[in-house]
């Protein structure tokens, strides 16, 4: 095999053009698959740090209504940790947003509030500093200490003085006491907190949006934390936890009655109050692997054609070797080793390309995802092994078949071949080419579907026009403001913004379309058990006017309802919620019960208006029912200012004025974003995901188109060289150049049409598979399928035309002289 390898290197050096094309094709195919593997490995396959993969998440379920889950209270966590006898170690964690003061600005960051045994339970050691202590975990202690992520430390140039430095969080100074390892994201495999805080700071730090109750952490009714832990060996967790839950229900009937506890594997994507797997990650990973695999298939079909063409020029060499005693196995081995040599070089180039691609994608993700991304893609043994396996797979796919075919020599005829003449007995090239065209068409069509979805997303709205709209995200609590100061700040902001020149209407709301956060509530009727899960928005006066909408019936909230609570709170429902609750009956003046979560005390509200339906997200269809309550009756810290500009006034002019006024009003204010609504929509995760999918699948399509073009040109060029004598005879007998050109193009057209016929079937099947990911595009969109077919057929015919035109330039005498 070593001799075969050296012989292969000599042969490849003698044919630099063939070698360069083959290595390029393999580098593209193997590189695409290795890049996809690096992403799938980081998200799903790579073991998480420490012993995270062996831990279980613990869930709190209603014993009667078994579909209802809730978090744990801190006292229940302590009971489970210390007295259940089930866990070797059990930790508590909760998630929130915090405000980090940087110079004159307050920046929003993602934080995890954890128990003191958090890192010990996960089996992870800090790279610097210490973990939290039991004293810092004590509820209400408010110990001002924090642990930073490695990426935060890296932004400080890994300065040793960072440990012990002071960072201002929500208006309070915290001392940095530790740094997590590189790539550590807690139980997550993608989104990483940037800061970890002790659970004793929960009451002072946690954003009100993430709280269930405003009572302290030591309240057994305050279900504030998620739990995860390591089970004791040999313990049957199910029965033991169920029995312990019953004992807590007896001891604390007001808070823990009718509860049961259960465990499930700790997922990679996030945390939830109910058991869940890894969400869409496996499906997305499988889809990426499928698309990359199709690209590799096109590359291998391409290489098989090239090897057939190249090998046919060596038929006499192969015949001579067999006449001298080489067996067929020996010939096949030599030809496969040549393919493996090409794969090795292609894999090395593809590995470099894949690392660069994955690194660029990571940087791209970090620039668009709101919270921290700690997604490390580095050269590793796993990546190298993957590239080697892809090289071996490619070799089997593209080299074994041609090697087996070329080793079936006809000694008598092949030994008679004069130098430069080619045998006619190599078949299969057209069949392989049809396969290339079919798979390429499917990939080009997939790219076209996602590209059209991305175009559609640029014109999306939430049920109201995005033009003349400005949104400003604010959260005064990130600067340490309490409820009275926050309310006063919002009142002053609205007064100033409403008075600005060019502002037609201004209001605020707790959520914004295309945003990262959507609040939910349960809405029902008195003496009825028909609660509807609805989107809950806390809004101010003139909200619908600021969106450019009119109420369908009734009225909006008044300035008085915006500013203070009233003995009889009012609510607005959208048409969909009104229909679900009351059918065709008039909801105006009716009393509805609104609660944030199951188990909360419902609060009666009087319906004063019916609003048009709105969507929160691109893929929300039909619109989710909405209930709106006034800011005066329901406090929230994070709000979005909605501004509708006057006709003829530039949005950017008003946007600059709003920014200046906010800074002049309160330099400490945490401004999360200031954008036009169009900018906000385009910056959303859903819109970005559509564009990212379009870019990714379009790249797969372009890559497949490039590989198919190379394959068509290579096979047609080989066909022209193989048929030099035939073309010479035809021209000697009177065929014109146009006749020869039509002959060659007609044969290319037949292959192209066959490839398109099979490819359209593949494209339809692939489109059906991708249908759920497409935004307002049919998976069988005729425009996309027709365009893909035209693009591919045009490219294929052009690739056929160039060798055909070269065939017409043959001099008949020179072609015949080769016989």
Which tokens belong to 657? 């004025």
Which tokens belong to 188? 């997550």
Domain locations in the chain as residue ranges: 1-48+290-427, 53-265, 429-459+684-819, 476-669
CB of 404 closer than 8 Å to CB of 332: yes
CB of 184 closer than 8 Å to CB of 50: no
Which tokens belong to 499? 């008075």
CA distance 575 to 299: 54
Enter the pTM of the model.
0.75
Give the tens place of pLDDT for each residue, 170-195. Answer: 888 999 999 999 888 888 876 778 99
Residues contacting residue 110 through CB under 8 Å, at least 6 positions apart: 95, 97, 98, 191, 192, 193, 194, 195, 371, 372
CA distance 361 to 39: 9
Cα dist. 718→26, 92, 306, 606, 709 in Å? Answer: 20, 68, 9, 81, 14
Cis ω before 569 (30° cut-off from 0): no
Which tokens belong to 129? 């500093």
What confidence score (pLDDT) does residue 628 get? 96
Give the tens place of pLDDT for each residue, 36-56. Answer: 888 788 777 788 889 999 999
DSSP letter string over 599-616?
TSPPEEEEEEEEEPP--S
Give the tens place of pLDDT for each residue, 238-273. Answer: 899 999 999 999 999 988 999 999 999 988 877 778
Q: Which regions in the chain score pLDDT beneath 70?
A: 104, 190, 207-214, 278-281, 309-316, 322, 325, 358-359, 361-380, 405-430, 597-600, 718-719, 721-724, 810-819
Indicate left, alpha or beta for 279 from its phi (over 0: left) and psi (-120 to 50: alpha): left
CA distance 548 to 264: 47
Long-range contacts of 114-118 (CB under 8 A, 24+ apart): 114/196, 114/197, 114/198, 114/199, 115/77, 115/91, 115/199, 115/225, 116/198, 116/199, 117/89, 117/90, 117/91, 118/91, 118/92, 118/93, 118/196
What confidence score (pLDDT) does residue 107 get? 77
DSSP strands (E only) in 50-179: 56-62, 69-70, 72-73, 87-102, 105-114, 128-129, 145-148, 166-169, 172-179
CA distance 14 to 17: 9
- Rounded to the nearest 5°, which phi and psi values hold at 590? -80, 155
What confidence score (pLDDT) does residue 421 get? 42
Cα dist. 342→11, 304, 398, 713 in Å? Answer: 11, 12, 11, 20
Give the tens place of pLDDT for each residue, 536-575. Answer: 999 999 999 999 999 999 999 999 999 887 778 999 999 9
What confidence score (pLDDT) does residue 411 get? 47
Smallest CA-to-CA distance from 317 within 399, 414, 395 is with 414
CA distance 40 to 348: 20
Helix extents (H) in 476-621: 483-498, 543-546, 559-563, 575-582
CA distance 69 to 59: 7
CA distance 101 to 122: 30
519 three-class SS: coil
CA distance 682 to 466: 11
Residues contacting residue 168 through CB under 8 Å, at least 6 positions apart: 100, 101, 174
| Beta-ladder partners of 108 | 99
DSSP strands (E only) in 232-330: 259-265
Strand 72-73 relative to strand 223-231, pairing = antiparallel
CA distance 97 to 478: 8
């Amino acid at each position: 095999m070593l001799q075969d390898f050296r012989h292969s290197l000599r042969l490849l050096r003698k044919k630099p053009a063939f070698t360069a094309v083959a290595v390029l094709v393999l580098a593209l195919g193997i590189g695409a698959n290795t890049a996809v593997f690096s992403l799938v490995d980081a998200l799903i396959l790579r073991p998480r740090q420490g012993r995270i993969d062996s831990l279980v998440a613990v869930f709190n379920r209603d014993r009667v209504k078994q579909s209802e889950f809730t978090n744990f209270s801190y006292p229940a966590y302590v009971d489970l940790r210390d007295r259940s006898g089930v866990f070797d170690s059990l930790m508590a964690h909760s998630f929130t947003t915090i405000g980090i003061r940087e110079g004159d600005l307050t920046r929003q960051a993602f934080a995890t509030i954890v128990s003191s045994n958090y890192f010990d339970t996960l089996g992870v050691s800090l790279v610097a500093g210490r973990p939290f202590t039991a004293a810092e975990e004590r509820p209400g202690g408010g110990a001002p200490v924090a642990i930073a992520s490695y990426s935060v430390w890296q932004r400080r140039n890994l300065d040793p003085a960072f440990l012990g430095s002071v960072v201002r969080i929500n208006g309070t100074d915290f001392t940095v006491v530790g740094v997590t390892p590189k790539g550590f994201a807690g139980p997550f495999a993608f989104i990483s907190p940037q800061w970890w805080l002790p659970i004793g700071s929960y009451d002072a730090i946690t954003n009100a949006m993430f709280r269930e109750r405003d009572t302290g952490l030591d309240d057994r009714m305050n279900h504030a934390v998620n739990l995860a832990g390591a089970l004791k060996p040999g313990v049957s967790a199910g029965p033991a936890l169920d029995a312990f839950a019953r004992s807590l229900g007896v001891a604390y009937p007001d808070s823990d009655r009718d509860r049961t506890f259960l465990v499930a594997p700790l997922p990679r994507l996030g945390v939830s109050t109910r058991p869940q797997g890894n969400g869409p990650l496996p499906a997305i990973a499988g889809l990426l692997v499928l698309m990359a695999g199709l690209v590799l298939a096109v590359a291998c079909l391409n290489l098989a054609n090239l090897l057939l063409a190249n090998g046919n020029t060596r038929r006499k060499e192969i015949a001579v070797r067999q006449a001298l005693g080489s067996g067929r196995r020996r010939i096949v081995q030599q030809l496969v080793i040549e393919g493996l040599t090409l794969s090795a070089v292609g894999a090395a180039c593809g590995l470099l390309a894949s690392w660069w691609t994955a690194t660029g994608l990571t940087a791209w993700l970090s620039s668009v995802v709101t919270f921290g991304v700690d997604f490390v893609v580095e050269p590793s043994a796993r990546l190298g092994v993957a590239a080697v396996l892809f090289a071996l797979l490619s070799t089997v796919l593209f080299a074994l078949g041609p090697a087996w075919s070329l080793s079936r020599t006809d000694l008598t005829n092949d030994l008679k071949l004069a130098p430069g003449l080619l045998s006619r007995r190599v078949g299969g090239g057209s069949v392989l080419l049809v396969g290339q065209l079919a798979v390429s068409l499917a990939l080009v069509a997939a790219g076209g579907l996602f590209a059209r979805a991305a175009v559609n997303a640029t014109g999306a709205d939430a049920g109201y026009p995005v033009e003349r709209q400005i949104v400003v995200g604010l959260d005064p609590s990130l600067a340490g403001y309490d409820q009275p100061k926050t309310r006063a700040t919002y009142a002053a902001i609205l007064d100033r913004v409403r008075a600005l020149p060019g502002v037609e209407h201004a209001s605020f709301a707790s959520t914004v379309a295309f945003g990262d956060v959507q609040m939910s509530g349960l809405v029902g009727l008195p003496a009825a058990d028909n609660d509807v899960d609805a989107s809950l928005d806390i809004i101010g006066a003139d909200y619908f006017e600021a969106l450019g909408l009119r109420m369908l019936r009734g009225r909006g909230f008044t300035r008085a309802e915006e500013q203070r609570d009233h003995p009889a709170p009012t609510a607005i429902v959208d048409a969909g919620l009104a229909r679900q609750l009351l059918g065709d009956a008039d909801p105006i003046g009716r009393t509805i019960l609104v609660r944030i979560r199951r188990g909360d005390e419902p609060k009666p509200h009087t319906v004063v208006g019916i609003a048009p339906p709105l969507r929160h997200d691109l893929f929300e269809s039909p619109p989710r029912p909405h209930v709106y309550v006034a800011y005066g009756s329901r406090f929230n810290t994070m709000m979005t200012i909605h501004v509708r500009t006057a006709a003829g006034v530039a949005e950017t002019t008003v946007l600059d004025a709003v920014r200046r006024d906010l800074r002049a009003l309160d330099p400490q204010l945490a401004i999360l974003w200031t954008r036009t609504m169009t900018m906000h929509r385009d910056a959303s995760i859903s819109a970005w995901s559509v564009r990212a999918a379009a870019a990714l699948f379009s790249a797969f399509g372009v890559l497949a188109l490039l590989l198919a073009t190379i394959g068509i040109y290579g096979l047609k060029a080989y066909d022209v060289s193989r048929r030099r004598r035939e073309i010479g005879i035809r021209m000697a007998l009177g065929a014109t150049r146009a006749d020869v050109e039509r002959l060659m193009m007609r044969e290319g057209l037949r292959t192209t049409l066959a490839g398109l016929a099979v490819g359209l079937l593949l494209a339809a099947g692939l489109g059906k598979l991708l249908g759920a990911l497409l935004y307002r595009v049919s998976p069988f969109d005729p425009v996309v399928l027709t365009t893909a077919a035209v693009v591919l057929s045009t490219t294929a015919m052009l690739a056929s035309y160039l060798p055909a035109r070269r065939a017409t330039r043959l001099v008949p005498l020179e072609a015949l002289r080769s016989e």
